[in-house]
Amino acid sequence: MNKIRDPEEKGILVLKDSDEKREIEFELKFLASLSINQRFLLMQTKSQELKSNLVKNGHRKTSQIIKRK
């Protein structure tokens, strides 16, 4: 049986089977429970995580401009 726990209850979604609709509902409910400041902090944290993963995997370098003579 599928079960959604409250976000206040550690914020963990427990599903026996994959259910995309319930996952999205859980995410939206969690995000709606955050204040504006918490949302921006979460966004900044996730952006930093993404940046560090890109650097770690060698994908952060910008393309180089080559000038023709």
Q: What is the pLDDT of residues 11-64, one digit of tens each?
A: 778 888 888 999 999 989 988 999 999 999 999 999 999 989 988 888 767 777
CA 55 to chain centre: 18
Is 37 part of any domain? yes
Residue 28: HSE in the Cβ half-sphere, 13 Å Cα cutoff: 6
pLDDT at site 47: 93
- What pTM did the predictor assign? 0.55
pLDDT at site 49: 94
Give the number of domains in the chain: 1
pLDDT at site 55: 86
Q: Which domain holds residue 7?
A: 3-56
> Alpha helices of 1-69 — where are they, by DSSP H?
20-32, 36-56
Using the CB atoms, write b or e for 36-60: b if 16+ within 10 Å.
Answer: eeeeeeeeeeeeeeeeeeeeeeeee
Distance CA 65, CA 50 (A): 25
Is 63 part of any domain? no
pLDDT at site 1: 47
